[in-house]
Chains A and B, each alone.
Chain A
């Protein structure tokens, strides 16, 4: 388990993102699919998690990006060390994988961006529930909601009683 410094992402603002625990036992098709070419999984986009558009991260590829954007830059030993450990985790699930290459270098330091109000959401969630990064990425019951507090599409769905109570939400 990768240890992330605890507490440094805390915010008093309401979060625009949320993590949902799916207790319905369902998952999307091709949940684990990664496009690995010659042992390399290249991430060239999708590392920006702002306030819009509304998205649900329901696959390994999207949650992997969210983990990198959330944690890499804040890792106590630096982002490169974080990526090395993350690659080792992924190698357990993808024997053909040799490395993960980030080419989306326009996102700040190259490791992605999380909306400021949601910084710390993942760290807080992992610590609170004692969940490893590996479990978070590879267990389909963890879903991330990307939303903005000026739109509040997901909270509207909750208010309208449209979300099943088998889905626990933390924000």
Chain B
């Protein structure tokens, strides 16, 4: 195990219902907070907005470094939201932290996420869209206590209903 923060991607066989998005006059707001995925405690990310924030953080950290590429990424995600909900015609980005507008994540998990998208679909943006909008994909951020690992040790996780995809092994 290379680090104490392990992110696990889980695909649920019995996917929950599609999420309804709240918009105002056709505009959907995405709040990019200063999520620090380096120190965040145990968390389950299962919503479209939560997955969008996580994906943006990881992709900006790993690949989309320039302002131009980030604008392109934001534009593509806007199109995804419009395709998901035809009542959405605009996406507004709200940054809570101007210094680190996309939050912080470690390189290893950012790389892992990018690699994982390639397993979903060979086309990067198709994969990103699938990851964000298909409710079967969720992210679990384990904490430094290894809470998720403890859950697995105790057989608390319902392995009959899920397929766990731990990218640690794939990456290694």
Q: Per-position contact with A for B128-172: 1 when CB-CB < 8 Å, else 0?
A: 000000000010000101010011011111111110000000000
Q: Is B10 an interface residue (CB 8 A)?
A: yes
The residue of chain B having its C-beta at the shortest distance from the C-beta of A26 within the complex is B154
Q: Are A26 and B155 in contact (CB under 8 A)?
A: yes
Give chain B nearest CB distance to A46 CB in angstroms.
Answer: 12
Give chain A nearest CB distance to B41 CB in angstroms.
Answer: 3
The B-contacting residues of A in range 47-101, CB under 8 angstroms, are 52-56, 58
Q: Are A162 and B158 in contact (CB under 8 A)?
A: yes
Which residues of chain B come closer than 8 Å to A58, judged between CB atoms?
A: 150, 154
Q: Are B43 and A166 in contact (CB under 8 A)?
A: no
Q: A52-B41, A159-B16, A161-B12 are in contact. Are A22 and B154 (CB under 8 A)?
A: yes
Q: Are A161 and B150 in contact (CB under 8 A)?
A: no
> Using a Cβ cutoff of 8 Å, how many contacts connect chains A and B?
67
Q: Are A164 and B155 in contact (CB under 8 A)?
A: yes
Contact of B43 among A54, A161, A162 (CB under 8 A): A54
Which residues of chain A come closer than 8 Å to B155, judged between CB atoms?
A: 24, 26, 164, 166
Q: Are A162 and B145 in contact (CB under 8 A)?
A: no
Which residues of chain B come closer than 8 Å to A24, judged between CB atoms?
A: 154-156
Q: Are B161 and A162 in contact (CB under 8 A)?
A: yes
State A91–B44 Cα separation when bound (angstroms): 39
Q: Are A162 and B42 in contact (CB under 8 A)?
A: no
Contact of B44 among A22, A153, A167 (CB under 8 A): A153
The residue of chain B having its C-beta at the shortest distance from the C-beta of A24 within the complex is B155
Which residues of chain B come closer than 8 Å to A8, judged between CB atoms?
A: none
Which residues of chain B come closer than 8 Å to A56, judged between CB atoms?
A: 147, 150-151
Q: Are A55 and B156 in contact (CB under 8 A)?
A: no
State A151–B14 Cα separation when bound (angstroms): 23
State A24–B10 Cα separation when bound (angstroms): 22
Q: A54-B147, A153-B44 are in contact. Are A22 and B161 (CB under 8 A)?
A: no
- Since A58-B154, A162-B161 are in contact, a sample of 14 more A-B pairs with Cβ atoms closer than 8 Å, ordered by chain A residue number, is A22-B154, A24-B156, A26-B153, A53-B42, A53-B143, A54-B147, A55-B147, A56-B147, A143-B154, A151-B43, A153-B43, A160-B16, A162-B10, A164-B158
Which B residues lie at the A interface, using CB under 8 A? 10, 12, 14, 16, 41-44, 46, 138, 143, 145, 147, 150-151, 153-162
**Would you list the 9 A-B pairs with minimal beta carbon distance, nearest first?**
A53-B41, A54-B42, A26-B154, A164-B158, A156-B44, A24-B155, A161-B161, A26-B155, A153-B44
